[in-house]
Amino acid sequence: MHNKSLTELATDLTSGAYSSVELTQYFLDRINQYDTNLNAFITVMDEQALAMAKTADEQIAAGSAGALTGIPMAHKDIFCTDGVRTSAGSKMLDNFIAPYNATVVEKLNVAGMPILGKTNMDEFAMGSSNENSFYGKVKNPWDLERVPGGSSGGSAATVAARLAPVATGTDTGGSIRQPASLTGITGIKPTYGRVSRFGMIAYASSLDQGGVFGTSASDCALVLQAMSGFDEKDSTSSEQAVGDFSASLKDSLQGLKIGLPKEYFEEGLDSGVAKVIEDAIAEYKKLGAEIIEISLPNTHLAIPAYYVVAPAECSSNLSRLDGVRYGYRCENPKDLQDHYMRSRGEAFGDEVKRRIMVGTYALSAGYYDAYYLKAQKIRRLISEDFQQAFETVDVIMGPVAPNTAFKIGEKSDDPISMYLSDIYTIAVNLAGLPGMSVPAGQANNLPVGLQLIGNYFEEAKMLNIAHQYQQVTDHHQQMPTAFEIANINPSKGGE
Amino acid sequence: MSLSTEEVKKIALLARLAISDKEAQQYSDSLSEIFDLVAQMNAVDTSDILPMAHPQDISQRLREDVVTADNQREKFQAIAPSTEEGLYLVPKVLE
Amino acid sequence: MEWETVIGLEIHAQLMTKSKIFSGSSIAYGAEPNTQANVVDLALPGVLPVLNVEAVRMAAKFGLGINAPVSQNSVFARKNYFYPDLPQGYQISQMDLPIVEMGHIDIPLEDGSTKRIGVTRAHLEQDAGKSLHEDFAGMTGIDLNRAGTPLLEIVSEPDMSSAKEAVAYMKKIHALVQYLEICDGNMQEGSFRCDANVSVRPKGQKELGTRAELKNINSFRFVERAINIEIARQIDIIEEGGSVVQETRLFDPDKDETRSMRSKEEANDYRYFPDPDLLPVRISDEFIEAIRATLPELPEAKKQRFIDEFSLSDYDAEIMTSSRPLSDYYEIVASGSGEAKLAANWVMGNLSAALNKDDKNIADSPISAEMLVGMIKRISDSTISGKIAKDVFEAMWKGEGDADSVIEKKGLKQITDSGAIETMIDEIIANNQAQVEEFRSGKEKILGFFVGQVMKASRGKANPGQVNQLLRKKLKA
Ligand SMILES: [Mg+2]
Ligand SMILES: [Zn+2]
């Protein structure tokens, strides 16, 4: 049951093999059974999930069900959910019951997907290991001593352990692709502007983009379809038509031109990871693709530019968290200044404070040109590298991360080495391109993801490229054995 | 580049973050390292490059001037730390 | 030493949209606290701004009104600072690329000439909420109804050299935004607010002196007072060997002084950067031309037309067009009565005196333009004299009805029946023989005495011309 595709689940729901309430209960039971080990959820929404499942069952009975009706899912705790705590992994919002729905939540509610709960994450999406959460570290289902990646580590661990069929995530510098890679699942971050940011708690506005985790490209296609589209509440969302992400999944890859950036295979890349990527490329050759070496010469500038742009934007975005209208307020402030200083000082974690300070400094009088403006210029250079590459190739491939999942605590005292784990993903956000991680095998007994980078609004093409690979490989079907046993017989489940 | 603890404290004040002396020392180290990393940008001459603020070259959409919001004060203030007579309360603001 | 003053003004005009600049909340004045603050205005996590087209249109209108280019590419920036009435922790404003670029406006000077004042820029931004300082157990209350209200900040060049010029400029801008129907100009409700940058320098010196920014000067009277007080303060400091500090100062009308607001200055570093939630605002030629096509007649054009059509002097025309409601009022009276000069005298004379006395705006004058037309018609058709008209005006002001009904009720109609006047004259001549002798002996001045007696007997209603003529005839007989 937990290894079925969304299409299979939908077929079963329609045929009456089990109800949405039963299916939802099945996953709630799995969460109950396994999440104490993983800590992937901040809030489990038992009651709401079952109520939504009941409504879905009514729709199914009435014949008005869509492709996703009744299939449960999980949301990263960065998407505001009306009436439910939405914490962004921070003490600051531990008491924040969102009074409205994010557009993504609204859309998936309309699609009829019961929400199992809100998943753990690095505080305000700042981190690559999920060690920066007020709610504790998330563990990698493949090895509980290792990180699942971040910042959407809770969602990735959830799907990897099959505690939910799919989950949403957000990606500002790799926060969908890197955890997908480290947990062996499929994750897609669409083009900037494809998915509305309204109600998605902002980290860095010009880089943040919502996306989805699933066990296959075809599952991701279905959910991304339901999440995407222009939103009049988000000025930066795109009016470009969404198209049909599932329609072209079966297209042949004959003649596909794959670009391999030489900068993505230089020193720093783990040899085991490199081997997995090479094998995946070989598989694509068999599918009829042509391999072309390309260069993205400004790759090394992506992390420096990102660590100006993202902190600058976050330093301003997080200013609204002031303990006045909602959120944490310190006790007995002696005056207004003390109220601000302590409410923010006590509620934000170390990494969040660090990035706020980096951004505050980079924007301050006398430094703006040297840092912020400079970074925005570098950003154009990076973007132009990609555009030049797409003149000759259809898709760019490479590793998602230089290493497999690292040990908890291994990098937590060394911000810079943590930042460097996003070296292959960050440039994609600076350019606003769609990116994906596809399970490609294992190194050191840990999953390795293959990164796909497409041109603007070519999500359908990327999903097709990933799906064709998944037709001839079974890496995406691998799951950590410790989570394989289903204790509960779904037919006996229920309210 | 190296940021002194004094500079760190100034930044923390600007950002309204209470930090201890010990933390100021730690941030002074890590911020200095980060700005060293960032300094790699200086190797590139960008004088002829236009800054890129947004991934796509699109312009601002304009909304019709219509009132669409209704009064939800009760719902919004249910999550507020302190309110009275419909107002949010904060420590006294001195002019 | 002789001193020279340099003044620049920053005016914040609240735009008359229905909804806020970046959200769908109402901007209506006077609602219960925080009932007009939605998720966007409260800056809840995850919310995003979307720009109101009407605010853009109004800003463009203003640009056309001051002969300024309307920028085809303007950018919103964030001005970052912490304050409880600023929910986002930053104000969305415009910095490098404002929507309206350099324009100008001409102000009248006391000697009858005009001076051109440069308007550096005008940009769109959001207003903050309100802090209520009355005691809530030692706390301050925050009302965010006003947060997100669209403002147009109008920044002048430092072209003004006296408090009087600053007031004249402020009045001109005040009139213009109302002509354009983009701001209601209500200064009590804070829809039109002014800050002044003031500095002094020795006459002839080229570089500017250190300036102080005066806040909270929200009436024409206060602007003049505050600036004059500040000029005197700065000159005092320099003459005593000190130097002026660049700072923000608050005008206190009760104590008649300006005082430093050091708290506002502390750690100010606004860290402006382009707002990543908003995209560049691109305005097409068609958009601007469509606005131009609906532009109302502006003060300068109307003034010229009043001079041409109504033969007003330059001075009278300037006054009559100094505000849109006044010019509309005058135009109805002048056209309706066909007596442009008489209309101007009444509007600038009795009407404006009465409005002043009762502290009323022309828009809520108890005597409508139509009523004044009715009265002036009765003067020009000799139903009443100019003198009686003052009584009619008085009665109308008190709400006793229109001119015709007042004249009727009070019997103020002029007596033009020569028989009736002759009877009165005969009686007066009979009772004042001594004065008749004086007249007849050549003392013509005494005629005034007889006119006065007749007017008294007729209670002012006799036609003075007629009385004069009949008296001469009778006295000479
Ligand atoms: Mg200003
Ligand atoms: Zn302003």
pLDDT tens digits for C126-157?
999 999 987 778 899 999 999 999 999 999 99
- pLDDT value of residue C382: 81
Contact A190/A433 with Cβ under 8 angstroms?
Answer: no
C472 vs C171, which has greater pLDDT? C171
- pLDDT value of residue C267: 55
- pLDDT value of residue C386: 84
CB contact under 8 A, A197 and C78: no
Contact A422/A303 with Cβ under 8 angstroms?
Answer: yes
- pLDDT value of residue A491: 44
Give the span between the Cα atoms of B62 and B59, in whole angstroms. 9
Write the DSSP string, C304-329: HHHHHHH---HHHHHHHTSSHHHHHH
The distance of B76 to chain C (nearest Cα, Å) reads 8
Is residue C388 pLDDT above 90, yes or no? no
Of C17, C38, C263, the CB nearest to B94: C263
- State which H helix or E strand residue A42 sits in: strand A41-44
Q: Which residues contact C441 (CB under 8 A, 6 or more apart)?
A: none
Residue A88, amino acid: A
CA of A340 from ligand 1 middle (Å) equals 24
Of A99, A338, A456, the CB nearest to B79: A99
Q: What backbone phi and psi angles, to 5 degrees, belong to C77?
A: -125, 160
Cα distances (Å, whole numbers) of residue C440 to C181, C391, C421, C435, C450: 67, 36, 21, 9, 13
Contact A86/A93 with Cβ under 8 angstroms?
Answer: yes
Biggest CA–CA distance in chain C, Å, is 101
Active site residues of A: 76, 151, 175
CB contact under 8 A, C33 and B86: yes
CB contact under 8 A, C276 and B73: no
Q: Which chains touch A (3 or more CB pairs under 8 A)?
A: B, C
Q: Is the CB of residue A342 less than 8 Å away from at least one CB of chain B?
A: yes
Query: What is the mean pLDDT for each group of 10 consecutive residues in chain A (495 residues)?
Result: 96 97 98 96 98 98 97 98 98 98 98 98 97 98 98 98 98 98 98 98 98 98 98 97 96 98 95 98 98 97 98 98 98 95 98 98 94 97 98 98 96 90 96 98 97 98 98 97 72 39
Contact C369/C327 with Cβ under 8 angstroms?
Answer: no
Contact A283/A360 with Cβ under 8 angstroms?
Answer: no
3-state secondary structure A371-402: HHHHHHHHHHHHHHHHHHHCCCCCEEEEECCC
Half-sphere exposure of C395 (CA within 13 A, CB side): 19
The distance of B64 to chain C (nearest Cα, Å) reads 6
A445 class by beta-carbon count within 10 Å (0-12 exposed, 13-18 middle, 19+ buried): exposed
CA of C250 from ligand 1 middle (Å) equals 15
Contact A226/A201 with Cβ under 8 angstroms?
Answer: no
Mutate to test the interface with C, among B16, B58, B71, B75 (most CBs of C within 10 A): B71
- State which H helix or E strand residue C434 sits in: helix C433-440
- pLDDT value of residue C464: 80
Cα distances (Å, whole numbers) of residue C16 to A19, A50, C19, C127: 55, 48, 9, 13
CB contact under 8 A, C82 and A340: yes
Strands C51-52 and B62-63: parallel
SS3 A3: coil
Of C44, C276, C277, the CB nearest to A326: C44
- For chain B, the domains span 5-43
- pLDDT value of residue C262: 67
Of A200, A340, A363, the CB nearest to C271: A363
What is the number of the ligand closest to the CA of C10?
1
- Residues forming a β-bridge with C214: C196, C249
Residue A372, amino acid: Y
CA of C166 from ligand 1 middle (Å) equals 17
- pLDDT value of residue A490: 45
C387 vs C196, which has greater pLDDT? C196
Mean per-residue pLDDT over chain C, rounded: 92
- pLDDT value of residue C30: 92
CB contact under 8 A, A201 and C45: yes
Say how many C-beta atoms besides its own lie within 10 A of residue A334's C-beta. Answer: 9
What number is the ipTM of this complex? 0.96
Q: Which tokens go with C92?
A: 């969305």
Residue B76, amino acid: F
Cα distances (Å, whole numbers) of residue C170 to C51, C151, C211: 28, 16, 19
pLDDT tens digits for C292-323?
999 999 999 999 999 999 999 988 999 999 99
Contact C195/C227 with Cβ under 8 angstroms?
Answer: no
Nearest alpha carbon to residue A315 among A376, A375, A364: A364
Is residue C95 pLDDT above 70, yes or no? yes
- State which H helix or E strand residue C91 sits in: strand C90-94
Q: Which residues contact C38 (CB under 8 A, 6 or more apart)?
A: B69, B72, C23, C24, C25
B·C CB contacts under 8 A: 122
- pLDDT value of residue C263: 52
Q: Which residues of C touch B71 (CB under 8 A)?
A: 35-36
The distance of C46 to chain A (nearest Cα, Å) reads 4
Q: What backbone phi and psi angles, to 5 degrees, belong to A332?
A: 45, 60
- pLDDT value of residue C435: 87
Going residue by residue through chain B, which has 95 residues, state the pLDDT in tens, using 9 for 90 and above: 899 999 999 999 999 999 999 999 999 999 999 999 999 999 999 999 999 988 888 899 999 999 999 999 999 999 999 999 999 999 998 75
Q: What backbone phi and psi angles, to 5 degrees, belong to A111?
A: -70, -10
CA of C153 from ligand 2 middle (Å) equals 5
Compute the C-alpha angle A96/A102/A108, nearest 5°. 125
Mutate to test the interface with C, among A306, A324, A340 (most CBs of C within 10 A): A324
Nearest alpha carbon to residue C320 among C369, C259, C270: C369
Q: Which residues of C touch B76 (CB under 8 A)?
A: 34, 37, 39, 42, 44
C135: region left, alpha or beta (phi > 0 left; psi from -120 to 50 alpha) = beta
Cα distances (Å, whole numbers) of residue B44 to A305, A376, A384, B48: 12, 13, 15, 11
The distance of C288 to chain B (nearest Cα, Å) reads 15
Of B46, B50, B63, the CB nearest to A374: B46
Is residue C415 pLDDT above 80, yes or no? no
Contact A133/A150 with Cβ under 8 angstroms?
Answer: no
CA of C172 from ligand 1 middle (Å) equals 20
- pLDDT value of residue A458: 98
Alpha carbon A107 to its chain centroid, in Å, reads 17
pLDDT tens digits for C33-55?
999 999 999 999 999 999 999 99
- pLDDT value of residue A493: 40
CA of C151 from ligand 2 middle (Å) equals 8
Give the span between the Cα atoms of B54 and A238, in whole angstroms. 12
Q: Which chains touch B (3 or more CB pairs under 8 A)?
A: A, C
CB contact under 8 A, B65 and C39: no
What is the number of the ligand closest to the CA of C123?
2
CB contact under 8 A, A204 and C276: yes
The distance of B38 to chain A (nearest Cα, Å) reads 4
A418 vs C465, which has greater pLDDT? A418
Q: What is the pTM of this model?
A: 0.92
Nearest alpha carbon to residue C60 among C124, C3, C1: C124
| pLDDT interval class at C20 (50, 70, 90) | very high
Question: How far apart, in Å, do the first and last CA atoms of chain A sit?
Answer: 18
Give the span between the Cα atoms of B45 and A301, in whole angstroms. 13
